[in-house]
Chains A and B, each alone.
Chain A
Amino acid sequence: MSSPGSETLRVRLSDDVVRVRQKARALAIEAGLSLVDQTKIVTAASELARNMIDYGGGGSVTLDIIASSTRRGVRAVFEDKGPGIANIEQALKDGYTTGSGLGLGLGGAKRLSSEFSIQSKPGEGTKITITRWK
């Protein structure tokens, strides 16, 4: 599903989160997203990239510009091979965390995205896809 312009970044350390934000911003500008929409997708990407480090043992992010017949947008796919999420519904609730964070990451990222999907299997890892349309 990735286009020629797609880029996959490895996320292991907190410096990598900065790189994910920069790439997401560049693509959001290229896709013609408004400033508010750029800010939303970059913030969502930042939350999810950090989640991967804190809970998934790191992973990868693939960022892409996508186009339908009528509109363009930015898509980011986050994949880790961490412990997975046993109860996705619970993990999406604000304030729920198994770590030291605020527990806003998943639910917040979902609200900031036009589309959000999550697949996770305990023991195998987690894959989250977010899209922000223009």
Chain B
Amino acid sequence: MDRIPILKLGDALLVTIQVDMHDRMATALEEDLTTRIVSARAKGVLIDISALEIVDSFIGRMLDNIAGVSRVLDAETVVVGMRPAVAITLVELGLSLTGVKTALNVERGMELIKRRRAEEANEQPGE
């Protein structure tokens, strides 16, 4: 079965979705990512969807699930590169992706994760 490659980028994992995903692929990605977050001790997950021509409620739910699971594992998910037409359609569909952080591109997504790590380090010892 086709699987989507997961790359390590510093403290974070980078997933670039380049194909029109069928459902099994999406489910496999959720599982693979969860395993890799733990094994790589990742603090962030960047999901690049700039190649995706649509995000329907199934893919939206997958993104929400990944964000939820990674949060529990102390990693932050940032979805990057959403196309404008996809964003317009998502909102009209009624999907607000409330649990998911977004950024314009991979660089900004990376910054978001680093900033969060820095904030955490600051507020650490003795509160």
Binding site for B on A (CB under 8 A): 14-15, 17-18, 21-22, 25, 35-36, 38-40, 42-43, 46-47, 50, 94, 101-102, 104-105, 107-108, 111-112
Contact with A along B56-76 (1 / 0, CB 8 A): 111011000000000000000
Which B residues are in CB contact (< 8 Å) with A36? 84-85, 88-89
B residues contacting A by CB (< 8 A) are 20, 22-24, 53-58, 60-61, 83-86, 88-89, 92-95
Residue of A nearest to B61 (CB): A102
Contact B57 A42 (CB under 8 A): no
Q: A14-B22, A36-B85 are in contact. List 14 more A-B contacts (CB 8 A).
A: A39-B83, A39-B86, A39-B88, A40-B89, A42-B54, A50-B58, A94-B94, A101-B58, A102-B60, A104-B94, A107-B94, A108-B92, A108-B94, A108-B95
B53 surroundings in chain A (CB, below 8 A): 25, 39, 42
